């Protein structure tokens, strides 16, 4: 059922509780916190501008990281408030709490068009627990609820599910923001009856993450192109040697079932015919979590479907790039989720970059609808400088996958139905 949108409501003089997904990557540079990717903030600006123009009093709430109920200074949203103010070109107040007296006081003096960003919701464990008392406290004094946090809509937390429940109980309206609407349109409606050929490109590390999506898309797609480490579990299922590649042996049966279903439905299910492999060597360096860092040596093209015993597959090879690009060139609709290899390392980025170029090209030249499912694939496209050349890039990671699986997102379900 369609949900009420901010286009359908008037918030003049009203207090709006606005859930946004400002879970952005932060880095410390010379003692300063820097936001390394502002996309999630930038994408909420149209909603903010509309609500400001109407004269709403905007109380923004968000989470950052996973502090699990502990007040971690490094996960404060204060730098985000500063960034937002800069992007909007107007002041954004910040309170170092999300409930309580300080918040109520600040909200009490807000004027139409004012913005306030609350501190990280997850400094309270009640947020993730969807605690009803906490939801009541968050909703205090709120007239209208707006959710523009598509990226967090798969979570049934107090700010995504509890607060709209409280607001609805008082007969208040709960609407989708413009970003939320766009996400639902492109990942939902546009893929309902896609123009064909519909080509799905799936990558990333794990088959287990993608199996429900594959099952769903097998009903709609003409072609599925597989890359990333998940390809090796499929290769294992087909009886090939996978060497030291990342595999999930406990997923061989589901991989086989997906292959059988594809055959039955006549879906072209393609796997890499060559790859870039390298020899993993454990070093005595430790990562942030104290695990030993693996280095990859002797990166080389492997023209064989089997991987040598001492090597791991880390990217799709040139023949695969060519074959996949041809499929992409013929597509009218493309959905891409997950990189083709370990693209953070230049030696293993060419597969992902080539696919990104092919997807951008078919969008620009043939007018294909190209939808990028969020997370790493968006990062890869941006890294290749092609972010603006596709039809839509989702701001959701887990949320876009769950939505594509056909799951009902609690943050969407909680919104008011359109009459
Ligand atoms: C995300 O970054 O995927 C969303 O903000 C949700 O965050 P979470 O996975 O910690 O719930
Ligand atoms: Mg996540």
Those residues whose beta carbon sits under 5 angstroms from the ion ligand 2 are 397-398
Q: Are residues 201 and 324 in contact, defined by beta-carbon separation less than 8 angstroms?
A: yes
pLDDT tens for residues 345-397? 999 999 999 999 999 999 999 999 999 987 888 889 988 899 899 999 999 99
Mean pLDDT of 249-255: 95
Q: How far is the centre of ligand 1, averaged over its atoms, from the C-alpha of 237 (Å)?
A: 32
- Catalytic residue numbers read 40, 206, 375, 398
User: What gap in Å lies between CA 246 and CA 230, rounded to an integer?
Assistant: 8
Please provide the average confidence, as pLDDT, over all residues in the chain: 95
Q: Rounded to an integer, what distance in angstroms lies between the CA atom of residue 52 and that of residue 159?
A: 21
In angstroms, what is the span from residue 289 Cα to ligand 1's centroid?
A: 20
Ligand 1 contact via 66 beta carbon (within 6 Å): yes
| Residue-level pLDDT at 290 | 87
pLDDT exceeds cutoff 90 at 338: yes
- pLDDT band for position 287 (50/70/90)? confident
- Give the pLDDT of residue 374: 78
Q: Compute, in angstroms, the gap from residue 12 CA to the centroid of ligand 1.
A: 31
CA 158 to CA 160: how far, in whole Å? Answer: 6
Residue 66 has pLDDT above 80, yes or no: yes
pLDDT higher than threshold 80 for residue 1: no
Please state, in angstroms and rounded to a whole number, the distance separating the CA atoms of residues 405 and 211.
9
Residues 133-185: tens digit of each pLDDT: 999 999 998 999 999 999 999 999 999 999 999 999 999 999 999 999 999 99
Q: Is the CB of 160 under 6 A from ligand 1?
A: no
Q: Is the CB of 397 under 6 A from ligand 1?
A: yes
Distance between CA atoms of residues 13 and 173, nearest Å:
15
- Report which of 210, 239, 209, 244 is spatially closest to residue 225, judged by C-alpha positions: 210
Residue 113: Cβ-neighbour burial (10 angstroms; 0-12, 13-18, 19+): middle
Instruction: Tell me how many degrees the CA angle 321-323-326 measures, rounded to the nearest 5.
Output: 105
Task: Determine if ligand 1 sits within 6 Å of the CB of residue 76.
Answer: no
């Amino acid at each position: 059922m369609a949900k009420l949108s901010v286009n359908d409501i008037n918030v003049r003089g009203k207090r709006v509780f606005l859930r946004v997904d400002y879970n952005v990557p932060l880095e410390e540079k010379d003692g300063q916190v820097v936001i390394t990717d502002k996309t999630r903030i930038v994408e909420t600006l149209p909603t903010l501008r509309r609500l400001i123009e109407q004269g709403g009093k905007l109380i923004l709430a968000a989470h950052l990281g996973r502090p699990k109920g502990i007040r971690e200074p490094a996960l404060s949203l204060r730098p985000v408030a500063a960034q937002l103010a800069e992007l909007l070109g107007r002041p954004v107040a910040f309170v170092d709490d999300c409930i309580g007296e300080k918040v109520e006081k600040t909200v009490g003096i807000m004027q139409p068009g004012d913005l306030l960003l609350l501190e990280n919701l997850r400094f309270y464990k009640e947020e993730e627990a969807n605690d009803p008392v906490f939801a009541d406290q968050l909703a205090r004094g709120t007239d209208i609820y707006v959710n523009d946090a598509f990226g967090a809509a798969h979570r049934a937390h107090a700010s995504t599910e509890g607060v709209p429940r409280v607001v609805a109980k008082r007969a208040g309206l709960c609407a989708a923001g413009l970003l939320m609407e766009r996400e639902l349109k492109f990942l939902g409606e546009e893929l309902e009856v896609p123009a064909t050929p519909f080509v799905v490109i799936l990558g990333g590390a794990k088959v287990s993450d993608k199996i429900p999506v594959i099952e769903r898309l097998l009903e709609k797609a003409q072609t599925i192109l597989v890359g990333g480490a998940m390809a090796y579990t499929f290769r294992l299922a087909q009886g090939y040697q996978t060497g030291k590649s990342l595999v999930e042996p406990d997923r061989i049966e589901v991989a086989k079932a997906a292959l059988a279903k594809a055959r039955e439905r006549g879906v072209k299910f393609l796997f890499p015919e060559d790859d870039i492999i390298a020899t993993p060597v454990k070093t005595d360096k430790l990562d942030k979590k104290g695990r030993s860092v693996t280095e990859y040596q002797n990166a080389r093209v492997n023209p064989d479907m089997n991987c040598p015993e001492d090597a791991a597959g880390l990217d799709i090879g040139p023949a695969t790039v060519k074959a996949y690009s041809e499929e992409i060139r013929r597509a009218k609709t493309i959905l891409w989720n997950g990189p083709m290899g370990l693209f953070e390392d230049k030696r293993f980025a060419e597969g992902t970059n080539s696919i990104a170029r092919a997807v951008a090209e078919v969008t620009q030249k043939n007018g294909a609808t190209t939808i990028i499912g969020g997370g790493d694939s968006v990062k890869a496209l941006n890294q290749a400088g092609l972010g603006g050349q596709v039809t839509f890039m989702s701001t959701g990671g887990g949320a876009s996958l769950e939505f594509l699986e056909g799951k009902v997102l609690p943050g969407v379900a909680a919104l008011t139905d359109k009459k």
